[in-house]
Chain A
Amino acid sequence: MITLSVKDLKKRIGKKEIIKGIDIELYEGEVFGFLGPNGAGKTTTIRMLTGLIRPTSGSISICGYDLQTDFTKAMMHLGCIVENPELYPFLSGYDNLVHFARMIPGFRNERLREVIDLVGLSERIHDKVKTYSLGMRQRLGIAQALLGKPKVLILDEPTNGLDPAGIREMRQFIRELAKNEGLSVLVSSHLLSEIQLLCDRVAIISKGAVIQTDTVQALLSSQERMIWRVEPFQQAKEILGTFTEVQEAEDSLITEFDSDKAGLWSRELVNSGVRIIEMNRRLPALEDLFLELTGGDRIE
């Protein structure tokens, strides 16, 4: 089931079109990555999805409700954290949750306990938020996003500023939410490693447009490479060059990976007297993939 559907979303500020037509569809129970370098338009897009910025054109619908025309109903099914969860530091965690719960029509108070237990904040919930660590604030942020039992959860850079243990914990937590509660989670990040570990599908965004959307696995395997360490180098390069495109690395040759042909090529090499030291199939990191897709658009 499609929970979030974005069609041809555009945003123009002045004469500059900063979002140039984004299409996304999110399914129930999946974690969807939104990947792009800083300044690619991730945050602007997310702010449009959460109703903070009005799109110039295009439509956003959450569980079938249009965000522009049916704002309240659409927002009933959406939970989000945009950038950092900036909760009120002068209130306790509990009062913060009560505050946001009061804004949900028909809220049942048992939900408050459920959410607090879910994020594991029961012990410190009555302390003032200004005494919380960043990780606790992040968890409280998630708690407030889950108050209304949303179907779609949007998290903007959820692991920003967390320590490695916190990042792992957060990742597990998000995966569990998608699996156990059937939530669609949209996670934006500029960290490829994070998306690779966390997401089922990913959309790569650069300069305000989605370059590619696919499952993480499919995206990676389409870019699989074969590494050849061979001797003599030049001769091998010529032979392989007759079959496919060859790139030269420091001490090895790189070709595409094709399970049908790899054997054939290696036989040709051996027959011509080339010594094969190592053949290695390599899945590229999303990093390389990204560079390739965006043509070198910078990413951290």
Chain B
Amino acid sequence: MNNLIQNEMLKLLARKRLIVVGGILAILVVLFTYAQYQTVQTQLKKLGTTDWRTTLQQQIIDTQNRLANSRIPDDFKKELEVRVKQQQYYLDNDINPAEPGAPSFTKEFMENSIDLLLPLMIMVIASDLVSSEFSMGSIKLLLTRPVKRWKILLSKYITLLLAISLIIAMMGLVSYLISGVVFGYKGWTAPAFSGFRITEAGFDSSGASIIPQWQFILMDFGVVWFAAVVVGTLSFMVSVLIRSTAAGMGIILALLIAGAILSNMVSSWTSAKYFFMLNMRLTDYLNGSPPPIEGMTLSFSLLVLTVWWLLALVISFTVFTKKDIY
């Protein structure tokens, strides 16, 4: 098995996919860091102070002003109300919600990339892991060895898991190192909030606790990894089912984007919550943002994703071991 994984790694590295992904990440992080920096600068100019308390106070007032506008939709109103309450809580407890520094940038970057950017990167690797062997024709050489088919597929899957872990580690590291140049590398121990719950009644901080930033980031990475594995496994399945890498990528891409669009539309179509795409934003549960459909919880999303993951895995392995190769 080790030999097989070594083979897959050899091919993955020789095709320089990981380097491309790393490059894209580095460029994006530079871009976002600059954007963040600009935002800070504008705010500074506007408020004339770097004191976050004043900024936060100003934000609360802004949000309340928007809430006063009767034309905003109910959903959005609720979200804004929640945000005001959160911000008020931060202010009352003397906690800077956007503790400037590389750790908080990293955290935000991870949270924002969980449902689209990261899955895209994973997809680049996963979607041609199997289908490229078909399109190159090398599948005929690969499957005429004295090795059972399921072992070959398993070695590819383990390679995918390794690649996913590598990409996420790379993402964390790149965003930390690059943003740190501008924002400084401090802030690992800053207090962070966890355990907010969005209920019918709105914002519920009864279960909330203050944990150090690093712990929060670790939790973020955990759920990000899980979501990435699910998307990776789904792309992997598509890669087994469809010969064309481009078509496979297209399908996954369409699903992911559909998820992003749907999550803004489906609050009343409750059965949509069983789509994997709508359960991707696991980090939202950690930082207390409301879910796209009321009643969705972290454990619900984890369960839904697990079911999709298992299904994809079973389909991949049965199809691959039974398939006639023409």
Contacts and interface: CB of A to CB of B under 8 A. Distances in A.
Interface of A: 47, 50-54, 71-73, 75-76, 78, 80, 82-91, 95, 99-100, 102-105, 144, 148
A144 B325 CA distance: 20
B245 to A, nearest CB: 15
Interface stretch (B134-142, B188-196, B251-259, B292-300): B134-142
B3 A102 contact: yes
Contacts of A100: 141, 145
Contacts of A54: 322, 324
Contacts of A85: 141
Contact of B138 (A50, A73, A76, A88): A88
Nearest to A86: B137
- What are the 3 tightest A-B residue pairs by CB atom distance, in nearest-first order? A86-B137, A75-B146, A102-B3
A98 B147 CA distance: 15
B6 to A, nearest CB: 6
B10 A99 contact: yes
B325 A103 contact: no
A185 to B, nearest CB: 16
Given A85-B141, A90-B14, A71 B3 contact: no
Interface in B1-27: 3-4, 6-7, 10-11, 14-15
21 contacts: A47-B324, A47-B325, A50-B140, A52-B140, A52-B324, A53-B324, A54-B322, A71-B146, A73-B146, A75-B146, A76-B146, A80-B144, A86-B140, A88-B138, A90-B14, A95-B14, A99-B7, A102-B3, A103-B4, A103-B145, A103-B147
Contacts of A105: 146
A54 B143 CA distance: 13
Contact of A52 (B6, B14, B15, B144): B144
A47 B143 CA distance: 11
Contacts of A53: 324-326
Contact of B326 (A47, A86, A90, A99): A47
Contact of B4 (A78, A83, A102): A102
B46 interface: no
A87 B141 contact: yes
A102 B7 CA distance: 8
Given A54-B324, A103-B4, A148 B137 contact: no
Contacts of B148: 71-72
A148 B322 CA distance: 25
Interface string B122-155: 0000000000000011101111111110000000
Interface centre among B4, B137, B145 (most CB of A within 10 A): B145
A72 B144 contact: no
A78 B141 CA distance: 12
B137 A84 contact: yes
Contact of B143 (A51, A91, A144, A148): A51
A144 B146 CA distance: 13
B100 to A, nearest CB: 44
A88 B138 CA distance: 7
B147 to A, nearest CB: 5
Contacts of B147: 72, 75, 103
B314 to A, nearest CB: 20
B138 A87 contact: yes
Contacts of B14: 88, 90-91, 95
A159 B148 CA distance: 30
Given A72-B148, A99-B10, A103-B145, A86 B325 contact: no
B10 A104 contact: no
